[in-house]
Amino acid sequence: MDKPKIYITRKLPKEIINNLEEYFIISMWQEEDVPVPRDVLLENVKDIDGLFCLLTEDINKELLDKAPNLKIISNMAVGYNNVDVEEAKKRNIIVTNTPGVLTETTADLTFTLLMTAARRIVEASSYLNEGNWKTWSPMQLTGQDIHGATLGIIGLGRIGEALVKRAKGFDMNIIYNNREPKPEKERELGIQYRDLNSLLKESDFVCILIPYSPNVYHLIGEKELSMMKSTAVLVNTARGGIVNESALYNALKNGVIWGAGLDVFEKEPVSLDHPLLTLKNVVTLPHIGSASINTRLKMAELASNNLIKVLSGEEPITPVS
Ligand code: GLV
């Protein structure tokens, strides 16, 4: 029997390809840092059985209409808002993601961003490099304390829980908001549930860790930001669309909140003339939450194994629900 055909939308490390080659006839976009052009992608899905894609590809009805043989969409990310899951379901196409393997790494980055924004690390480093450091002075580059502060986590999923562990080490007081309260986790982790407004009012740091769906588009806007403390820091490592960026810009510029750490933007890559990039009290990163060597390899491996399982007639390891 002929091997199934797959298309891979970005150049992957050799060890991942070597494994996939045993099972599949592979076509792959050969660039590492440039996404596959839409017309090339649409042309390449015509006769494939499986698709290995990234969060940079919009896997929508238009694409699915062009891929009549497709049986699995394997997204190398935990978030899958780039895939029209309903359309896939109508066609009996399985959609998989890569949860679990990136939890700890993404929690590490979320806490890093929180600390970096709180202690003005990027600004302080530029201050030195730009030759502004003339002396030590009492209130120079002073930031916010992390230890003993209240951390509000929006979204107590795997990454939210992993963030709790880090925050505990800094003696933080931890509150959370989630679609469903989780009383068992509250007992286990020593944290407390709050409705969203109370969380925003009480927190010194607010970390957004919910999956994106149209229901949470601009969940954090002008009204929500105005409820936060003027000393508070907002950290978003989930998806850019959850925060209204122009409201955030105004809040940061006018001292409504004190700072922000952003790993994600509504439009990625964020444009270099985006107003948020002009503010000193924002730390910006290019969507690197899960970007450790080990974790990215594990994500690629899990995404590959989902393809292998499904196209051998077995159950996927991590289907999206
Ligand atoms: C990254 O943002 C992911 O969803 O894995």
- Ligand 1, atom nearest to 102 Cα: 5
DSSP 84-137: -HHHHHHTT-EEE---STTHHHHHHHHHHHHHHHHTTHHHHHHHHHTT------
Mutation pick for ligand 1 pocket among 55, 81, 209, 296 (CB with most ligand atoms within 8 Å): 55
In the chain, where does the domain assigned CATH 3.40.50.720 lie? 5-101+293-311, 103-284
142 backbone φψ class: left, alpha, beta (φ>0; ψ -120 to 50)? beta
Mutation pick for ligand 1 pocket among 76, 287, 290, 298 (CB with most ligand atoms within 8 Å): 290
Residue 183 phi/psi, 5-degree rounding, is: -60, -35
Encoded tokens for 57: 């590809």
Mean pLDDT of the chain: 98
pLDDT mean over 159-175: 98
pLDDT mean over 253-264: 99
103-284 — its CATH code?
Answer: 3.40.50.720
pLDDT at 297 over 90: yes
pLDDT at 1 over 80: no
pLDDT mean over 56-70: 98
Residue minimizing CA distance to atom 3 of ligand 1: 77
289 C-alpha to center of ligand 1: Å? Answer: 7
How long is the chain?
A: 321
Exposure class string for 26-63: b at 16+ Cβ within 10 A, else e: bebbeeeeeebeeeebeebbeebbbbbbbbebebeeeb
Residues with CB under 6 A from ligand 1: 55, 77-79, 102, 289-290
- pTM, full prediction: 0.97
Encoded tokens for 23: 């099972």
- Ligand 1, atom nearest to 79 Cα: 4
How does pLDDT run across 89-104, given as a tens digit for each residue?
A: 999 999 999 999 999 9
Q: What is the domain class of 5-101+293-311 according to CATH? A: alpha beta
Q: What pLDDT score does 276 carry?
A: 98
3-class DSSP state of 51: strand
How does pLDDT run across 197-228, given as a tens digit for each residue?
A: 999 999 999 999 999 999 999 999 999 999 99
264 C-alpha to center of ligand 1: Å? Answer: 10
77 C-alpha to center of ligand 1: Å? Answer: 4
